[in-house]
Amino acid sequence: MISFYTAKLLSLLVYPVSLSLLLLVLAFACSLLRWRRISFYTTVIAVTWLYLCSTALFANFLMGSLERSYVPRAMSVIAEADAIVLLGGAMRGDTHMGTLADLNQHADRLVHAAALYKAGKAPIILLTGGGGEDVRSEAEQMREILMVMGIPARSMLLEDKSRTTHDNAVFSAQMLKDKGLRRILLVSSGYHMLRAEALFSAQGLEVVPAPTDFQRTVAPQLLSRWVPDVASLSRSTYALHEIVGYWVYRLRGWL
């Protein structure tokens, strides 16, 4: 079994920037060995891959392949459940000058969980997400934010040991079953829901997906979809991480 940190290190090979840099290093090494043709084609592949992943067209294609099965639903038609399970991934963490932990671009997850609770869809929110050494868990950080949003502390449970989505499912299922809770509204980003739903269902829970944080916007692109930009590169990176993660989890027998 590979460690958490080893898995994170290996996952860097999936990211467009890391993979492109690795290919460029390989191309440079080939040029030193006077393998000019290999060096040239490796450089072309590196630059082309980085460019493609930086375009809105490719980022939307990748995100669409993950999100299309999880369309948003009106609050009025979402069924009630025993608990809302809010997956981590929406926090950047504590900062030196801030009083609250900093949110990241996936903070829609917290907003959606709060909206579900206030609509009376479930009486409990289970917050999932651990932390490193000498660092507050993500579950604790999310609890603070949700309290500011008006969610009472008594209505929140914390699962603060997990480091991966697999851990989220295993530890959360144990806590929920101990309290006799089995039907859950699972809150995560739309692109993450395929893997998350499968993992929680594998733990014997009745899962109702409650996706949010959809990545394809309605507004037209200010620039051509073929013009590279940092936002598109970020979305491509998240999508590739999720696609590879799903198949790795399947190979490990977790799905």
Q: Is 126 left (phi over 0), alpha (psi -120 to 50) or beta?
A: beta
Q: Kindly state the DSSP code that residue 107 receives in the 8-state scheme.
A: T
- Kindly report which listed range (4-13, 45-54, 173-182, 183-192) carries the lowest average pLDDT score: 4-13
Q: Kindly state the DSSP code that residue 79 receives in the 8-state scheme.
A: P
Domains and CATH numbers, the chain: 11-67+228-251 (no CATH), 77-212 (3.40.50.620)
Identify which of 188, 179, 102 has the alpha carbon closest to the alpha carbon of residue 142: 102
Q: What pLDDT, in 10s, does the model give residues 161-217? A: 998 999 999 999 999 999 999 999 999 999 999 999 999 999 999 999 999 999 987
**Average pLDDT value for residue range 36-49:** 96
Q: What pLDDT, in 10s, does the model give residues 115-166? A: 999 999 999 999 999 987 778 999 999 999 999 999 999 999 999 999 899 9
